[in-house]
Amino acid sequence: MTIAYWCVLAAIALPYFSTFFAKFQGGFGPKQNHNPREFLETLEGSRKRAHWAQLNGFEIAPAFAAAVIIAHLAATSPQGTIDGIALAFVASRLLFTLCYLADWASARTLVWAFGMGCIVALFVGVSG
């Protein structure tokens, strides 16, 4: 397994940290677990933003996974470069979540754009 493949697993798992932050700071229990989406829509502040970060993480993970797999199959770049870009993407997702929780909208947008750039770089390749 390459580092980039492990990064795919990390990208799939990262949204669940936001889920944990959103749900388990009080008010979520067995009753709310019958309809957790309804509960999440009632949240406010950083907990609501954590939910939104979760949704964004689930939305972007398939594109990242596809980019890593295609980069490997097409050998778009040397393996070390692919691994580095994948690590940069995972770091961007961590920073994206932090920016979302802190309500730093402009910084969040820049970090999101960087992450998208990582996905594009995996597809088109960069010299390493």
**DSSP letter assigned to residue 2:** -
16-31 tens-digit pLDDT: 999 999 998 888 888 8
4 in Cβ contact with 70 (< 8 Å): no
57-116 tens-digit pLDDT: 999 999 999 999 999 999 989 999 999 999 999 999 999 999 999 999 999 999 999 999
Q: Where are the domains of the chain?
A: 3-124
Output the CATH code of domain 3-124: 1.20.120.550
Return the HEC string of 41-76. Answer: HCCCHHHHHHHHHHHHHHHHHHHHHHHHHHHHHHCC
118 in Cβ contact with 92 (< 8 Å): yes
Residue 72's pLDDT is 96
86 in Cβ contact with 66 (< 8 Å): no
52 in Cβ contact with 75 (< 8 Å): no
Residues 6 or more apart whose Cβ sits within 8 Å of residue 103: 46, 49
117 in Cβ contact with 34 (< 8 Å): no
**pTM, two decimal places:** 0.93
